[in-house]
Amino acid sequence: MPEKKGLLSRLIGGGSKPAVPPKAKPTAKPAAKPAAKPAAKSAPKEASSAAAKPSAAKPVAAKSAGATTAAAKPAATVLAKGAGGVPLQKPAGAMLASSRPANRPQVKPTITGSNGQPRPTGAPPTAPSRPANRPNVKATVKSAGGSPTATPARPAPRPVPRPAPQQSGPRRIAQEIISASGKRTIRELNMQGQRVLLRVDFNVPLSDGKIVDDSRIRAAVPTIKALLDGGASVVIMSHLGRPDGRVVDGLRLRPAAERLTQLIRVNVPTTGDALGVGTDDAVRRLRPGELLLLENVRFHAGEERNDPAFAERLASYGDVFVNDAFGAAHRAHASTVGIAAYLPSYVGLLMEQEVEALSNLLDKPARPFAAIVGGGKVSGKVAVLEALIKKVDLLILGGGVANTFLVASGRSVGKSLYESKMVDDARRILKLAQDRGVRVLLPVDGVVAKEVTRGTEFKVVSTDKLPASWHMVDLGPSSITAIREALVPIKTILWNGPLGVFEIPSFAVATRELAKVAAEKADAGATVVVGGGDSIAALRQLGVAEKMTHLSTGGGASLEFLEGRDLPGLAVVPTAGSPYETLPIVYVSPVKPGSKVAPKRAPAKPKPIIKPSVLDDEDDESETLA
């Protein structure tokens, strides 16, 4: 042992006390013994490890610079061998280095930021330059020579609200896209993965909470199925009745949602409100192939005012906007017009079908062409009657509209409904028809009643001798026969509005008889287009609705279109194939007589102003005739 100790002392450099070989797996940190201060050259920088814990492997000390230690009692431990096989020692009091693989150099760890550059320890992290779920890779695109060219990867394009610039130039129409309406339809839309905000017209008649006629719901089914089959999720909007900005429980859309569920065999949940936290959450949870019906949008006053804030809030529920509500297309409301300023806009299949059918009537009808106009009031139909006089060969009038024309022709109508202020307009239309050689067929007899109620007394009288205290509620048998005979040579029929008080079965005889005649003409090959809720209801009661060439869901909208006016809900949709979006359009409602004029507000930016139609009736043209 003495010879061994002396040998170790000579190899280390002359220490008075030899180093003790370390154990294979030290279990506890050995107590450091006091040692003399080492020489300046015996403590290299690599040996001063900062607060490192001892590891289970052999401790490693710093490399010796070749100098000897001058300590009286060195406590160095043999740790490793240096160059030439000389063992290295750790100075007394130094911490043991942390464990690491032998093939990994001891370097100071660095933290890399999102930009790939090292970030100092303790510095705040930089903001990510890409989504966390997208790798930072570059796509390669082969050039014409075949060599790959590095290009940055781009996400899939998504439609965003993009109003057209002020000087965007004329719109380009793609020749391969054919649209009967001339507007951009859902056939141009890549709907896969899109959330579509769909405006429909579910303004259906209700009785004790049950739907009386579901024609408008059925008409929206093709567009809804097309969107679902295309991989979209659909958020549906609609109105029902006139709640005037208040919540009316009897005008909620739950019955419409239940009926739509039965028709498409897909669950259609409804929200408690058109806006709100619950609605936001329901929209976010929608998956492709799922539907959601928002509550009645007219529960909010901003709907009928076309409030931009309300429209923008609705627009946040979708990626694109599709308007398929032809029955409300003549309304300049937030859900029909305002949303188009924030989302790319399209028309649905129903809107396209409506425009095509009505355009064919005006542009290329088969002659002779007859128009049958009923309903309660003539005030909203003066312009359309003047337009029809220039198109048709026969004009048949019924309902309250006929009463005003009877007065204009010099007859009395008793207590029947008519508009005294419109008598002069009726005379002008009769004169225009006479000048153009158009036959106008007025009732020659009618059903009169003491009261317009169920179970009241009624009788048939001539229109030349109407009792002063009675109401005319339906056409008489002679008038029905005259209509049937006049329609024999007709090849194109346009019918809008009932001929009597259709809500009371006793006074709906003429309307049902006309429905039978229309079915017979359709079977014979004539073109028959029917509009108005009560007119279509009469056809469905008889089971002949499917025989018609087209059933229009629009009451006032179809009349305005036939008149030749632009429908606001259709005007805001870009032309078919157009790469541009429409500019925001502000529609100003006309001031009604006797109402106070609100003070004018200074507009933030000048925008084109288009006034809507003066027709302010309900979408259906059914009115009480007394």
Mind telling me the catalytic residues?
A: 216, 377, 533, 556
The SS3 assignment for 624 reads: coil
- Strands 369-373, 394-397: pairing is parallel
Phi, psi of 266 (to 5 degrees): -135, 135
DSSP state of 399: H
- State how far the Cα of 319 lies from the Cα of 465, in Å rounded to an integer: 62
Pick from 507, 494, 413: nearest CA to 452: 507
- State how far the Cα of 399 lies from the Cα of 474, in Å rounded to an integer: 7
Cα dihedral 428/433/439/440 (nearest 10): -20
| Element spanning 479, H or E | helix 477-486
- Residues forming beta bridges with residue 446, ordered by sequence position: 461, 475
Structure-token match 């579910």, residue found: 202
* Burial class for 339, CB neighbours closer than 10 Å (0-12, 13-18, 19+): buried
Cα dihedral 416/419/425/427 (nearest 10): 30
Judge whether 497 and 463 are in contact, CB under 8 Å: no
Judge whether 621 and 556 are in contact, CB under 8 Å: yes
Pick from 137, 28, 33: nearest CA to 93: 33
Six-digit token string for 331: 């309304």
Judge whether 181 and 187 are in contact, CB under 8 Å: no
Amino acid at 509: V
Six-digit token string for 342: 């924030």
- State how far the Cα of 267 lies from the Cα of 257, in Å rounded to an integer: 9
